[in-house]
Amino acid sequence: MSNRNNPFQSLLENWSKFELTLLGVFVALLLGAIILFAILGTIFLGGRSSSEISDLPTDEAGQPVVTLSPNVGSAGSTVTVQGDDWPVGSRIVIYFVPLSPPRYAVNSTIVDSDGRFRVDIIVPSDPRWLSESPVPVLAQTDDERVSAQALLTISSPADIPSLTPVAPEDIAPPEPEPTSTPPPPDIARLTVNTDLNVREGPGVEYDILGVLLYGQTAEISGRNADGTWWQIRYESAASDFGWVAAQFSTAENIENVPIVTSPARPTVTPAPSPTATPVPGIVITDWRGEYY
């Protein structure tokens, strides 16, 4: 009775043991093939997705870069500092960084709309820089949030190869031609990046002669040995020249700016101690004077 109600069981009872064994093997092989295809598919799809992800463009901003051209210079020579991938519109201050503080600001500039800047600096003349070579040249935003540096090798003038003069050949002079007067060389000048004091000498200990307002320009006539202060043409009651800090100005055409002698540092004369002056006696005629 039960066999009639369960046809599958009746079928199994009619199969031989050999046929049942073959059926089991077939089912096992089928399940194994399904599992194998599932594993291979997972590996293939996973590898493809990771490669596709790696090919996607990233949104990370480039790191700021600073380069020197050339990266070797002797005292008094000019080096161009160039920057890429800097915050647009930010003010960049260029420093020489010695082994021991403080660092020395030598120029500054503004980043253009492409995130780039270009500014010249003068290799300082103090012998300490030659002994500390290579010297880090640091470019930093005025808020000190972004910075980058490059190394400048400072060489002595003897290390720079000189050109061997060649004896002139006997050449017939050319026919004279009308010539125009060559334009005057570019004048070294600076533009101040803030309202800036003009002082009698290169340091905050010197007296103030006046003020250059933000954006004003001045002709550069000299510099101190480190290139941290510029001497400018500035008429005042005391002199025809003044000094401003390089850190707060952008200087141009500074290749031939000479080192000039700084004025003598002002000496501070101690003020005489005040002497007590006897106070004439006060006659208090009111009781409140005695009380308060």
pLDDT in tens, 204-262: 999 999 999 999 999 999 999 989 999 999 988 888 999 999 999 999 999 999 999 98
Instruction: Quickly state the pLDDT bin for 106 (edges 50, 70, 90).
Output: very high
Task: Give me the pLDDT at residue 272, please.
Answer: 61
CATH topology of domain 189-252: SH3 type barrels. (2.30.30)
Number of other CB atoms surrounding residue 211 within 10 Å: 12
The Cα–Cα gap between 90 and 167 comes to: 52
pLDDT in tens, 25-55: 777 788 878 888 778 766 655 544 444 434 4
In Å, the largest CA–CA distance within the chain is 143
Q: Are 3 and 12 in contact (CB under 8 A)?
A: no
Instruction: Quickly state the pLDDT bin for 62 (edges 50, 70, 90).
Output: confident
Same fold, 65-158 and 189-252: no
What integer best gives the mean pLDDT of the chain? 79
Task: Give me the pLDDT at residue 292, please.
Answer: 32
Instruction: Quickly state the pLDDT bin for 119 (edges 50, 70, 90).
Output: very high
The Cα–Cα gap between 169 and 18 comes to: 113
> What is the second-level CATH architecture of the domain 65-158?
Sandwich (2.60)
Q: Are 242 and 230 in contact (CB under 8 A)?
A: no
86 pLDDT higher than 60 = yes
* Residues ≥6 apart with Cβ < 8 Å to 130: 75, 154, 155, 156
The β-bridge partners of 43 are: none
The Cα–Cα gap between 220 and 172 comes to: 43
Instruction: Quickly state the pLDDT bin for 127 (edges 50, 70, 90).
Output: confident
Question: What is the residue extent of each domain of the chain?
Answer: 2-48, 65-158, 189-252
The Cα–Cα gap between 244 and 199 comes to: 7
What's the average model confidence in pLDDT over 82-105? 94
pLDDT in tens, 1-24: 445 556 656 655 666 666 667 777
**Per-residue burial over 47-59, b = 16 or more CB atoms within 10 Å of its CB, e = otherwise:** eeeeeeeeeeeee
110 pLDDT higher than 90 = yes
The Cα–Cα gap between 181 and 168 comes to: 26
Q: Are 67 and 86 in contact (CB under 8 A)?
A: no
Q: Are 92 and 139 in contact (CB under 8 A)?
A: yes
Task: Give me the pLDDT at residue 38, please.
Answer: 78
Nearest to 129 by CA among 117, 141, 121, 120: 121
Q: Count Cα atoms within 13 angstroms, Cβ side, for 187.
A: 11
pLDDT in tens, 163-212: 455 555 555 555 555 444 444 568 999 999 999 999 999 999 999 999 99
Number of other CB atoms surrounding residue 127 within 10 Å: 12
158 pLDDT higher than 80 = no
